[in-house]
DNA sequence: GTCCGGG
DNA sequence: CCCGGACAACGCTTT
DNA sequence: AAAGCG
């Protein structure tokens, strides 16, 4: 049993050689190392945000499960955000990451996927970014096209937007905002923008709720902008054979042949060396939403 | 990964 | 003792 | 009530 002391907090690390990504041979130790190295880049999207973790104790092929409520056996220093559910009244001690030791502890729990709220504990009702979650059915080409149309509309609205791969099959667009708008306001605005896209390309994109009525169109998921919902954090690993990473992209990287598998645990460091952290300034780029659309 | 309850 | 089950069978929006 | 989502 290895132990790690991180600013007074002792984290016990176990089974570091256990293989979690069989095809690539990446181990639990690689997982923990990855998040330690990525902490400077990922911290903005974890600190003081309620998190939902997807754990894979037996690797990406084994049984997995989600965890958001902090278990009793967690160390007493683990950071949590207690939130009472609006509908049921149940109190959930949401796990969060306010310090490196928190991240190392959840990594040792085999948290491959880190899903975070759009708002922080400080202002739970007011997100500091809005999110377009583009869910493809057919493939990446259509999704890229939809993303470019959204980008054009956002440019016209003079809203700066940030792009990343989801790490699975889709794309995420984050629009940083001043934390003064409610989830309802943000959701309504993004719905309007989605409707503009569909007006231009009705054969390409959809926002219909019923899955079987979406055909093979790209689902522009704006409904993700809601309390209690989460989105994979930038730089979150994914349980894919290639150990993909949800990776920030430059808008000029949006090409028809974009392949999410090209952005993974193996080459993300190299990419950071080349391009730096493309999302470094995201949270500092607070924006007001266009009043005429609210 | 860890706890718990039942064999 | 070991094994199987639970941990987001949650909470939220929309129809 | 139930679908759909992370
Ligand atoms: Mn998605
Ligand atoms: Mn979605």
Model ipTM value? 0.85
Cα(A218) to centroid(ligand 1), Å? 10
**Tell me, in Å, how far CA of A36 is from C1' of C13?**
36
Cα(A136) to centroid(ligand 2), Å? 9
Residue A274, pLDDT score: 97
Summarised one tens digit per residue, pLDDT across range A235-260 is 999 999 999 999 999 999 999 999 99
Residue A211, pLDDT score: 86
Residue A237, pLDDT score: 97
Smallest CA–C1' distance to C15, residue: A209
Q: Is the dihedral of CA A255, A260, A266, A268 positive or negative?
A: positive
All residue ranges of chain A with pLDDT < 70 are: none
Where do the domains of chain A lie, and which CATH numbers do they carry?
2-116 (3.90.920.10), 129-293 (3.90.920.10)
Alpha-carbon span A121 to A47, nearest angstrom: 9
Determine what percent of chain A is predicted with pLDDT higher than 70. Answer: 100
Q: Is the dihedral of CA A233, A235, A236, A242 positive or negative?
A: positive
Cα(A125) to centroid(ligand 1), Å? 22
Q: At what angle do helices A268-275 and A28-42 cross, to 10 degrees?
A: 20
Cα(A135) to centroid(ligand 1), Å? 5
- Pick out residues whose CB falls under 7 Å from strand D: A 115, 133, 135, 209-212, 219, 221, 223-224, 228-232
Residues with a beta carbon under 5 angstroms from ion ligand 1: A 133, 135, 170
Residue A55, pLDDT score: 96
What is the model's pTM? Answer: 0.96
């Amino acid at each position: 049993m290895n132990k790690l002391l991180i600013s007074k907090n002792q984290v016990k690390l176990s089974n570091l050689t256990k293989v979690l990504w069989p095809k690539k041979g990446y181990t639990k130790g690689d997982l923990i190392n990855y998040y330690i190295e990525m902490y400077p880049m990922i911290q903005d999207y974890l600190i003081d945000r309620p998190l939902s973790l997807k754990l894979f104790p037996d690797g990406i092929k084994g049984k997995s499960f989600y965890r958001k409520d902090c278990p009793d056996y967690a160390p007493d220093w683990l950071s949590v955000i207690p939130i009472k559910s609006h509908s049921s009244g149940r109190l959930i001690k949401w796990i969060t990451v306010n310090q490196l030791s928190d991240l190392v502890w959840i990594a040792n729990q085999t948290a491959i996927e880190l899903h975070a709220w759009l708002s922080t504990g400080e202002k739970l009702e007011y997100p500091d970014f809005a999110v377009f979650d583009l869910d493809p059915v057919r493939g990446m080409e259509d999704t890229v096209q939809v993303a470019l149309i959204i980008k054009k509309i956002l440019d016209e609205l003079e809203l700066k937007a940030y792009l990343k791969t989801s790490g699975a099959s889709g794309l995420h667009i984050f629009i940083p905002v001043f934390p003064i708008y409610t989830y309802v306001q943000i959701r309504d605005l993004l719905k309007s923008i989605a409707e503009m896209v569909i007006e231009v390309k009705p054969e390409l994109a959809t926002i219909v709720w019923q899955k079987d009525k979406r055909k093979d169109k790209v689902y522009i998921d704006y409904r993700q902008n809601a309390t209690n919902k989460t989105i994979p954090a930038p730089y979150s690993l994914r349980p894919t054979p290639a150990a993909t990473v949800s990776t920030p992209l430059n808008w000029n990287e949006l090409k028809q042949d974009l392949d999410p598998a090209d952005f993974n645990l193996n080459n993300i460091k190299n990419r950071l060396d080349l391009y730096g952290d493309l999302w470094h300034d995201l949270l500092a780029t607070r924006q007001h939403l266009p009043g005429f659309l609210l």
